[in-house]
Chains A and B, each alone.
Chain A
Amino acid sequence: MQMFTKKKIEVVVEAIYAPRVVEAAKNAGAKGYTVLPNLQGSGTHGDRRGSGLSGAFENVMVICVVDPSIASTVMTAIKEAIGDAIGVLYASDVEVLRDEHF
């Protein structure tokens, strides 16, 4: 079976900024994305977990799988969208089956 190498960009970001991140990724050429809601964790900004109603302590993860040729453009756009907000941004290599989806 033929596999194709892509970049998986994962962004853990405060929930309120998720729409901006998604928008930036799409504008930079990402063809799709997935958002995992309501995450818990801890980092340089301390304990992060949703406290009910305000999104101020809630984190989500935005996942984009893109062609390696545009990975750096997409990551730069996402970095700008996050600005001073709380977040973690990284990428890794993944293998996909259906090249035309990305």
Chain B
Amino acid sequence: MADVLAVAASNLVSPAILAFLLGGLAGFLRSDLEIPEAIAKGLSIYLMLAIGLKGGASLASSDAGMSILPGLIAAVLLSFLIPYIAFFLLRMTTRFSTIDSAAVSAHYGSVSIVTFVTATQFLTSLDITYEAYIIAMVALMETPAIVSGLLLARKKGAENGTKPPLFQPEMLREILFNGSIMLLLGGFVIGWATGEQGLETVAPFFVDPFQGVLCLFLLDMGLVAAHRLRTASSLSPSAIAFGLYMPIIGAVLGGATGYAVGLSAGGTTLLAVLAASASYIAVPAAIRLALPKADPGIFIPLSLGVTFPFNVLVGIPLYAAVIATLYS
């Protein structure tokens, strides 16, 4: 238990997490501090390409081969499955409509890349290694949950006799070729093709300043999360509770899956973090197109204002500590 607390404390005093708290504080105090939209977007492009490059390069220097397949398949299944659990819990405990429940469920099955990046930095600071191909899991886990969410919403449409088409062409493009998937997978392929040598040539830009860029990005996330939480009057206590216990359910599922497919303690922790995290970039855009009746005033504050801070501040060190204890 002392270990758990020590690990949690070391997470809280990292510059990136403190920058997140600073952003949150500024947001709650209604400071005029603001990261311009275009810069935030630029920072996220940097983070996603950097993490893709690093993952690809380290996969190239490992001899993983086909042994990574079970892990990748398990990750896809996890993303498909989690929305069904989330949907069931939401229908049992909240007053959300079927459409809103389905929309929220899709967010929780998908992943938050920034939560993942924060977790990798946390593991690195503790000298815990993890499998390189987890980066590929991140990209693979983004979309299956959207399909599950739409299937859940569609059941309701069928009852009313107005069955919406499952996929419109625009939406298919939106979810398959969205920016974060292009950057993660593209970076991964570039990193893999050029190997450690290739990474070395861009390391002064993509590796060394990574922590600093993450600080700036998390500062912005703090501001945005605080703003969303402040304006989230429609969230009932049972919804907020969902935003807190759902990540733990996800982490248990992700951790068990990681163990089952033979990941290391570090890799299992990252899969737990992925399963625990909720999307707030790719899924909201897809859901706005596919389910315009779903209220963005519910799913964004919940994933961004409740679950994201919970995972970053409490979840990551908690999952890491529990998994480290179980593996030792």
A contact residues vs B (CB 8 Å cutoff) = 14, 16-17, 19-20, 38, 45-47, 50-57, 83-86
Contacts and interface: CB of A to CB of B under 8 A. Distances in A.
Interface stretch (B12-20, B74-82, B137-145, B285-293): B285-293
Contacts, number: 58
A51 B300 contact: yes
B281 interface: yes
B318 interface: no
A77 B37 CA distance: 31
A19 B40 CA distance: 23
Given A56-B285, A84-B293, 16 more contacts: A16-B285, A16-B288, A50-B37, A52-B35, A52-B37, A52-B44, A52-B220, A53-B281, A54-B281, A54-B285, A54-B300, A56-B287, A56-B288, A56-B296, A84-B292, A85-B292
B285 A55 contact: yes
Interface secondary structure of A, over-half rule: mixed
Contacts of A46: 231, 297
B41 interface: yes
A56 B292 CA distance: 10
Interface in B125-140: none
Interface string B271-301: 0000000001110110111001100110010
B241 to A, nearest CB: 22
Interface residues of B, number: 27
Nearest to A82: B292
Contact of A54 (B221, B231, B284, B297): B284
Contacts of B228: 51
Contact of B227 (A17, A51, A56, A84): A51
Contacts of B44: 52-53
Given A20-B170, A45-B297, A51 B289 contact: no
A17 B288 CA distance: 9
Contact of B288 (A19, A38, A47, A55): A55
Interface of B: 35, 37, 40-41, 44, 170, 174, 220-221, 224, 227-228, 231, 280-282, 284-285, 287-289, 292-293, 296-297, 300, 304
Contacts of B37: 38, 50, 52
A56 B300 contact: yes
Contacts of B282: 54
Contacts of B231: 46-47
Contacts of B285: 16, 54-56
Contacts of B280: 53-54
A15 to B, nearest CB: 9
Given A20-B170, A52-B37, A52-B41, A85 B220 contact: no
A51 B280 CA distance: 10
Nearest to A55: B285
The 5 closest A-B pairs by CB, nearest first: A56-B284, A84-B292, A52-B40, A54-B284, A53-B281
Contacts of B35: 52
A38 to B, nearest CB: 6
A45 B224 CA distance: 18
A13 to B, nearest CB: 11
Contacts of A38: 37
Contacts of A86: 292, 296
A17 B289 CA distance: 7
19 contacts: A16-B285, A16-B289, A17-B288, A19-B170, A20-B170, A46-B297, A47-B231, A51-B224, A52-B37, A52-B40, A52-B224, A54-B280, A54-B285, A55-B284, A55-B288, A57-B300, A83-B292, A85-B288, A86-B296
Contacts of A51: 224, 227-228, 300, 304
